[in-house]
């Protein structure tokens, strides 16, 4: 990302089912990101509240993909990936809030070594920023093996599909 080379497009994929307030906070923080180019994709899993109406009104730049049925988290991620144009995919939960520079740091690390196939940021507790947030992660394994699959991963095309994201 130096020497005049443009930065790669990052597609942010957010599976969503209800909870307009939390989605708004997530999208607001992504909108304030200092990284470009950025494609933000929300996959709506048939929400029954008004969150999608609010999203269309307040975040018209976000690409909305409405699923015909609730695909769940993994299915929503896969469906979003089918519509993504980015060199990197960034998978997020809809209840995350982000600092402006975090995507740039992840991309810089990925671009620094083609042997790196994925990166993850530190996930801090929303209410107490001094602590890591392990909700939704691997429990104790995240500490012991330092291999977290939590709420933010960027994939590179190096990862082989061996059925590890099977939706069944």
The residue extents of the domains of the chain are 10-155
Q: What is the pLDDT of residues 102-149, one digit of tens each?
A: 999 999 999 999 888 888 887 776 676 666 665 544 444 444 444 444
Which of 103, 107, 118, 93 has its CA nearest to residue 42?
Answer: 93
What pLDDT, in 10s, does the model give residues 50-62? 999 999 999 999 9
This prediction has a pTM of 0.78
Q: What kind of fold does domain 10-155 have according to CATH?
A: Spore Coat Polysaccharide Biosynthesis Protein SpsA; Chain A (3.90.550)
């Amino acid at each position: 990302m130096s020497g005049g080379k443009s930065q790669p497009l990052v597609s942010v994929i957010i599976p969503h089912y209800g909870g307009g307030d939390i989605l708004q906070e997530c999208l607001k923080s992504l909108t304030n990101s200092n990284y470009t180019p950025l494609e933000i994709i929300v996959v709506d899993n048939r929400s029954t509240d008004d969150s999608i109406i609010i999203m269309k009104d307040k975040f018209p730049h976000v690409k909305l993909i409405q699923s015909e049925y609730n695909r769940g988290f993994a299915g929503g991620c896969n469906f979003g990936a089918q519509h993504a144009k980015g060199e990197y995919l960034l998978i997020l939960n809809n209840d995350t809030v982000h600092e402006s520079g975090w995507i740039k740091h992840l991309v810089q690390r990925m671009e620094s070594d083609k042997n790196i196939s994925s990166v993850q940021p530190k996930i801090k507790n929303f209410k107490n920023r001094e602590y890591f947030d392990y909700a939704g992660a691997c429990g104790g394994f995240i500490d012991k093996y330092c291999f977290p699959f939590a709420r933010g991963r960027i994939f590179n095309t190096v990862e082989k599909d061996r059925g590890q994201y099977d939706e069944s």
